[in-house]
Structure 1
Amino acid sequence: MNFASFINTNTEKFRTRPAIGFKKKEEWKELNWLDFRRVIFKTANALRTAGIAENDKVAIYSDNSAEWIVFDLALMSLGAVSVPIYSTNNGEQAEYIIKDSESKMILVGNQEQYAAAFEILLKDSTLEQIIVAKKSVWIKKDRSHYFQDFIKDGAENIDITEKNDDDLATIIYTSGTTGVPKGVMLTHGNFHNAIKAHFDFFKFKNFENETSLAFLPLTHVFERSWTLLSLYGGAKVYFLENTKLIAHALTEVRPTMMCAVPRFYQKIYAGVNEMVQNGSSSKRKIFNWAIKTGTETAERKRLGYSIPLSSKLKNKVADALVFNKIKNKMGGRLWFMPCGGASVSPEVTRFFDAIGVHMTVGYGLTETTATLTAFPFEHYEHGSAGIPLGDTRIKIGENDEILAKGSGIMKGYYNLPDETAAVFTDDGWFRTGDAGKFDANGNLIITDRIKDLMKTSNGKYVTPQPIENLLSNSNYISQAMIVAEGKPFVTALIIPNFEALKEQIARMNLPFTSWPELVNSEKIKEFYREKLEEIQKGLSGFEKVKKFVIMPAEFEVNSGEITPTLKVKRNVVLQKYEQLIDRMYEH
């Protein structure tokens, strides 16, 4: 069955209920299911009229928007194949994906993306037309059309093209922390089975009453799968185009569910803790009491026990005094937050459980249609990645590598038979490239990326991710990259949280000059030395960061230092800052 068939099912069920929300002229608007289907089918017919046929490839190069998801579902309805490109990719990266996938058409979102696409269009490429999502973008008339003009004559009905489970639905190019991006081929069956597995696993009640906010890039398999799952279940999905406005969007949209990466939660956790530390002793006492109360209640829930009336009453007081202030900044209604994309420390998950916002930690890859394992609502283990969903089977192979089988596993890499063969064992298990183990209760624990495991010159093995998580749980550290491979001790490149550091500079009465000058000042270095000493108390001697460099600016997506999902590309950073790193080992 074509995955997009749910559009008809839900339109019959929900007709005039809102399906999606988006911002237009600073105001949130909604489309109900009837209008949502109408615009998807008009788009599908316009694509067909423009020459897009079954199995043709069409790229989407845009920030999140209503047009993004409409275009995606229209392509699926036709049996065509969507090829998402990260909105932060430059022209050269976009060109590689368009060429490799042989995309015939592209949807772009802003002026920069249009300029890059137009340049590719003029070259001898497969690209034939550009569709532009917004009228605010200036376009040349040559094979370029505004989305609204493109669809205006499209018929409002369409017979959704029949598809089998094995038929291709999308090619997602991995952002990859190493090497050239590879096109992951996901099928209609991958999406259908992965989403069904989630509903069977979580057994949501009245899911159609939920509201989700899509703020991670739809290009990434995590947000894409979560958004499709939300729409499939009849929930309302709002699309945030400018991620910098997340704080405003949370209070305006007031979502009940939302997926996010660990950095989102770490920032909230670190910010709250810093505020408490800088508050009065009475505020600290109240906060600590509230967290203790919330943790006791959360632990009973986690273990499947009923909550005594006395605990419920205490929790109400903790809510009124402390937790509601934090939750209101997130809109006040969030209760379910899937978290993936990287590991997250147990302190963070326990904190959110205590305040009454359940972080559902999961583990998966683009190649597995996102989730392989996740926290159930009860009997999950903090610090783990949960248990397998649906028909997923997991075993631990050589070098502790996590191997997986199941209906969410990709068809293969587009036009790369050798690379496809390399990531499957002879008996068909997918090699994740991650190291892990199972605990006594069957929870999967990710230990690290196999490629990232580091061995010091003293023969000690260091797993960087848990140490980096520990450091970035601090409000003063936005990101940290550990260096240890072949070195006598562990060092780190530290990206400060510049907002928090600016406030600290004011408290220290240091004049603000420039970031390069400030991060090299002895007072700031000493401040970070003290912080690191405090943070690393629980680590073994050989794991501790002995020396560090404070970076004067964030790692950049455009320069290739981080992926669009904010994972550090270690090899790029090591090469770029080789001299800086070497200097830490000179004395």
Structure 2
Amino acid sequence: MNFAEFLNTNAEKFSIKPAIGFKKKDVWKEIHWLDFRRMVFKTANALKEAGISANDRVAIYSDNSAEWITFDLAILALGAVTVPIYSTNNGSQAEYIINNSEAKIILVGNQEQYDAAFEILNKENTLQQIVVSKKAIWIKKDRSIYFEDFIKKAEEHFDIVQKEDDDLATIIYTSGTTGVPKGVMLTHGNFHNAIRAHFGFFKFKNFENETSLAFLPLTHVFERSWTLLALYGGAKVYFLENTKLIAHALTEVKPTMMCAVPRFYQKIYAGVNEMVQNGSESKKKIFNWAINVGTQVSELKRLEKPVPFSLGFKNNIADLLVFNKIKKKMGGKLWFMPCGGASVSPEVTKFFDAMGIHMTVGYGLTETTATLTAFPFTKYEHGSAGIPLGDTQIKIGENDEILAKGSGVMKGYYKLPKETAEVFTEDGWFKTGDAGKFDENGNLYITDRIKDLMKTANGKYITPQPIENLLSNNNFINQAMIVAEDKPFVTALIIPNFEALKEQLPKMNIPFTNWQEIVDSEKVKEFYREKLEEIQKALSGFEKVKKFVLMPAEFEINTGEITPTLKVKRNVVMQKYAALIDKMYTS
């Protein structure tokens, strides 16, 4: 069955209930299920009239928007194949994906994307037309059309093209921390089975009453799978186009559910802790008391034990005095937050648990339609990646590599039979490239990326992610990248939290000039040395960062230093800042 069939089911079941929300001229608008299906079907007919048929590839090169998800579902309904391109990809990266996938039509979301797509359109390739989502974008008329005009004359009735489970639904090009992006082929069956596995695992009640906010890029398998799951289950999904406005969107939309990467939660955790540290002694006492009470309650709930009346009463007071103020900044209604894309410290998950917000940590890859394992609602273990979902099977192979089987595992890499064969064992297990272990209760622990495991010149093994998480859990550190491979000791490139540091400068009697001068200041370096000493107390001597460089700017997606999910591309950063790194070992 075509995955897009849920549109018919939900349009009949929920008809005038809102399906999606989006911002237009600073006001949030909603579209109900009947109109949403109508818009998707008009788009499918328009694509058909433009010459798209089953198995043709259609690209989406845009930030999150109502048009993004409409185009995606229309492509699937038509039996064609969606090829998402990260909105932050530059023209040459987009061109590689368009050429490799042989996409015929592309939806773009902003002027920069349109200009890049138009340049590609005028080269010899398969691209035939650009559809532009917003009329605010200036376009050349040559084979370019606004989305509104593209669907204007299209019919509203559409018969969804029948598909088998093994039929291709999408090709997602992995951003990857190494090498050229590979096109991951996911099928209609992959999406169906992954989503059914989640509903079977979590057993949500009244899911159609939930509200989700899509702010991670829909191009990424995590947000796309989650958003499709939310729509499949009849929940309302709002689309945030400008991720910088997340703080405002949370209070305006008031989502009940939302997926995010660890950086999002780490910054809230670090910000709250910094605020408490700078507060009065009485505020510190109240906060610590509230966290202590909340932790006791969350631990009892985690272990499925009853909460005594007196403890429950104290927790209500803790909620009133402390937790509600934090939760209101997140909209006040969040209760379920899937978290993936990188590892997250147990301190962070325990903190949110204490407030009554369940961070559902999961583990998966683009190649596995996102989730392989996740925290259940109870009996989960902090620090783990949870237990397998659905029909997922996991075992630990050579070098502690995590191997997976199940109906969420990809069909293969597009046009890359050799690379596909390399990531599967002879008996069909997918090799994740991550190292892990199970505890006695079946919880999976990710120990590290096998490729990221570092061996110092002294023969000591360093797993960078836990150390990097420890550092970036501090409010003054936005991101850190550990260097240790073949080196005599551990060093780090540190991106400060520029906002927090700027507030700190007057206390250090340092006038702000520019960030390069600030990070070169001996006073600022000493401030960070003290922070590192404090943060690293529990680490073994060989794991501690001995020297560091403070960077004057964030790592950038468009320069290839980080992936769109904010993971550092180590090889790119190592090469780009080789001189800075060498200096730490020679000076």
Sort the TM-score into its range (normalised by shorter chain): over 0.9
What's 2:335 paired with?
335
Quote the Cα distance in structure 2 between the aligned partners of 1:231 and 1:401.
34
Quote the Cα distance in structure 2 between the aligned partners of 1:181 and 1:428.
23
1:465-503 C-alpha deviation (Å, 9 max, x unpaired): 000000000000000000000001000000000000000
- 1:585 deviation in Å? 0.8
What's 1:413 paired with?
413
Matched, 1:514 2:514: yes
What's 1:554 paired with?
554
What's 1:135 paired with?
135
What's 1:381 paired with?
381
Quote the Cα distance in structure 1 between the aligned partners of 2:450 and 2:219.
25
What's 2:582 paired with?
582
1:156-211 C-alpha deviation (Å, 9 max, x unpaired): 11111000000000000000100000000000000000000000000000000000
1:259-289 C-alpha deviation (Å, 9 max, x unpaired): 0000000000000000000000000000000
What's 2:122 paired with?
122
Partner letter of residue 412 of structure 2?
G
What's 2:110 paired with?
110
1:491-531 C-alpha deviation (Å, 9 max, x unpaired): 00000000000001122221001110110111000000000
Quote the Cα distance in structure 2 between the aligned partners of 1:421 and 1:158.
39
Quote the Cα distance in structure 1 between the aligned partners of 2:364 and 2:401.
14
What's 2:502 paired with?
502
Percent identical pairs in the alignment equals 81
Which deviates the most, 107-116 or 503-512?
A: 503-512
How does 1:186-335 map onto structure 2 within 5 Å? 186-335=186-335
What's 2:175 paired with?
175
Partner letter of residue 20 of structure 1?
I
How does 1:359-438 map onto structure 2 within 5 Å? 359-438=359-438
The two structures have a TM-score, normalised by structure 2, of 1.00
What's 2:469 paired with?
469
Quote the Cα distance in structure 1 between the aligned partners of 2:503 and 2:125.
51
Quote the Cα distance in structure 1 between the aligned partners of 2:506 and 2:387.
47
Quote the Cα distance in structure 1 between the aligned partners of 2:558 and 2:130.
23
- 1:398 deviation in Å? 0.3
What's 2:94 paired with?
94
1:108-154 C-alpha deviation (Å, 9 max, x unpaired): 00000000000000000110000000000000110000000000111
Partner letter of residue 289 of structure 2?
W
Quote the Cα distance in structure 1 between the aligned partners of 2:136 and 2:579.
45
What's 2:442 paired with?
442
What's 2:533 paired with?
533
Partner letter of residue 7 of structure 2?
I
SS of alignment partner, residue 586 of structure 2: coil
Structure 1: segments with no counterpart, 5+ residues: none
Q: Over aligned residues, Cα RMSD in angstroms?
A: 0.5
What's 1:165 paired with?
165
Structure 2: segments with no counterpart, 5+ residues: none
- 1:565 deviation in Å? 1.1
Quote the Cα distance in structure 1 between the aligned partners of 2:560 and 2:29.
36
Partner letter of residue 333 of structure 2?
R
Matched, 1:14 2:14: yes
Partner letter of residue 330 of structure 1?
M
Partner letter of residue 370 of structure 2?
A
Quote the Cα distance in structure 2 between the aligned partners of 1:48 and 1:576.
46
Partner letter of residue 56 of structure 1?
D
Which deviates the most, 504-513 or 163-172?
A: 504-513
1:92-121 C-alpha deviation (Å, 9 max, x unpaired): 000000000000000000000000000000
Partner letter of residue 75 of structure 2?
L
Quote the Cα distance in structure 2 between the aligned partners of 1:356 and 1:268.
15
SS of alignment partner, residue 123 of structure 1: coil
- 1:244 deviation in Å? 0.2
Quote the Cα distance in structure 2 between the aligned partners of 1:438 and 1:135.
53
Partner letter of residue 219 of structure 2?
T
Matched, 1:185 2:155: no
SS of alignment partner, residue 28 of structure 2: strand
Quote the Cα distance in structure 1 between the aligned partners of 2:382 and 2:216.
24
Quote the Cα distance in structure 2 between the aligned partners of 1:161 and 1:518.
60
Partner letter of residue 537 of structure 1?
K
Quote the Cα distance in structure 1 between the aligned partners of 2:285 and 2:413.
55
What's 1:47 paired with?
47
SS of alignment partner, residue 175 of structure 1: coil
- 1:319 deviation in Å? 0.4
Partner letter of residue 410 of structure 1?
M
Partner letter of residue 129 of structure 1?
Q
What's 1:145 paired with?
145
Quote the Cα distance in structure 2 between the aligned partners of 1:291 and 1:153.
58
Quote the Cα distance in structure 1 between the aligned partners of 2:323 and 2:506.
29
What's 2:350 paired with?
350
Quote the Cα distance in structure 1 between the aligned partners of 2:45 and 2:560.
38
Quote the Cα distance in structure 1 between the aligned partners of 2:123 and 2:247.
41
Quote the Cα distance in structure 1 between the aligned partners of 2:118 and 2:27.
31
Partner letter of residue 346 of structure 2?
P
> Which stretches of structure 1, 4 residues or longer, exceed 6 Å deviation after superposition?
none
SS of alignment partner, residue 585 of structure 1: helix
Quote the Cα distance in structure 1 between the aligned partners of 2:435 and 2:330.
34
Quote the Cα distance in structure 2 between the aligned partners of 1:368 and 1:410.
6
SS of alignment partner, residue 500 of structure 1: helix
1:210-262 C-alpha deviation (Å, 9 max, x unpaired): 00000000000000000000000000000000000000000000000000000
SS of alignment partner, residue 30 of structure 2: strand
- 1:310 deviation in Å? 1.1
Quote the Cα distance in structure 2 between the aligned partners of 1:308 and 1:230.
35
Partner letter of residue 99 of structure 2?
K
What's 2:567 paired with?
567
SS of alignment partner, residue 440 of structure 2: coil
1:56-84 C-alpha deviation (Å, 9 max, x unpaired): 00000000000000000000000000000
